[in-house]
Amino acid sequence: MLRAVMCPDCAEPVHADDLFCESCGRDLRLDRDATRATASPEPCVRCGTPADGESDYCSGCGLRRNDGTDHVEIDLAVLAGVSDRGLVHRRNEDAMALGKLARGTEVIAAVVCDGVSSVRDPQLASRSAAETTLTGLLGAGSGSGSSDELIRSSVATAAKAVATLAGSSLRDAPSCTLVCGLVERSDDGTAAISVGWVGDSRAYWLSDAGSRLLTHDHSWAAEQIAAGVLDEETAMSAPMAHAITRWIGADGPAEPDVMTFTPQTPGVLLLCTDGLWNYVPDADELAGLTLPTVAEEGPIAAATELTGIAIEAGGRDNITVVVIPVSPDLPRSTA
């Protein structure tokens, strides 16, 4: 007899081999989650003023209410992520969105975004870009177009969504960086990994056979180093070091760079914001911290541990880490 389970949207009974929920139409092949704000109905913890549901701040004393995004954990078993406000910023302007085909191993996708703190409502840009891009990437199951085309079109759609947040004025329009990862498995079980990025959020490939940074920052420092104008130490210590040269927003050059590779050995695809890599930028060091924990406790434990390391090192920025283990020889599911 088939084991009965519940639809994650409407909680109606479904069976383990159902593709769609007959009650609400939910596609049961997909499992996804993302950073989302939740309205707090609780009175202000400082002055007791009731929540009005319309503002992030208490109307009585001005204290920022917790919208549920200060610390976010998402565990989809085959991938996981943690996003944390850190110790200095007054809110979490990072966002992440994770998804997988729940009835198979064909498609796994994740998006990490970092809001540009110098503009208004950067957290809205991050959340919109992350969810919109993930929706596009999860369309990989339809088999339309290459991974490169899929990432570019998904990011372009996200850029349009974020642009609408600007309203009638482009001044200080909400904007963010973005890095996304897509793992697609072919009929013979080989896994292709595609990464796209805009800005200075990063992707790493971590493996016992060799680890490396997959992305190059779209930033002032990276461009100075690439042009041979400054050495790395001088460029990274300059006041303009972290100024980004590409971003997602109404006034931004949102063209992503994209790369694809097929790993020959097991490893981990790591996506993160600069809240982590500012403290641990080296791929080999990240591998040493990540791989043993993934092997022993799983991806959510590794994401939690890396977030904790960044916080213990100072937590001067928001921190978001997504961990995706990849086994090249894993056979395709027939479920």
* pLDDT on residue 275: 98
Helix (H) / strand (E) element for 70: namely none
Average pLDDT over all residues of the chain = 88
Q: What number of CA atoms fall less than 13 Å from residue 295's CA on the CB side? A: 11
Which amino acid, residue 85?
A: R
What is the DSSP code string of 246-290?
--EETTS--PPEEEEE--SS-EEEEEE-HHHHTT---HHHHHHHH
The two counts, helices (H) then strands (E), for the chain are 7, 15
* pLDDT on residue 29: 73
Angle (nearest 5°) at CA 159 between 318 and 25? 90
3-state SS of the chain: helix, strand, coil percent to 5? 25, 25, 45
Q: Of the spans 17-26, 136-145, 169-178, which averages the highest pLDDT?
A: 169-178
* pLDDT on residue 295: 97
Tens of pLDDT, residue by residue over 220-269, are 988 898 888 888 888 888 888 889 999 999 988 889 999 999 999 999 99
Q: Is it true that domain 69-326 has CATH number 3.40.1260.10?
A: no
Secondary structure of residue 57 in the 3-state scheme = strand
| Residues shown for the chain | 335
Q: How far apart are CA 204 and CA 226, in angstroms?
A: 19
In Å, how far from its chain's centre is CA 167?
A: 25
Q: What is the mean pLDDT of residues 45-60?
A: 73
Q: pTM of the full predicted structure?
A: 0.87
Cα 156 to Cα 162, 179, 197, 200, distances in angstroms = 10, 13, 12, 18
Q: How far apart are CA 125 and CA 122, in angstroms?
A: 5
* pLDDT on residue 330: 46
Tens of pLDDT, residue by residue over 8-28, are 678 788 776 666 778 887 777
- Residue whose token pair is 């349009």: 160
- Residue whose token pair is 């590794």: 302
Q: How far apart are CA 55 and CA 240, in angstroms?
A: 34
Q: What is the mean pLDDT of residues 156-170?
A: 92
Q: How far apart are CA 305 and CA 299, in angstroms?
A: 10
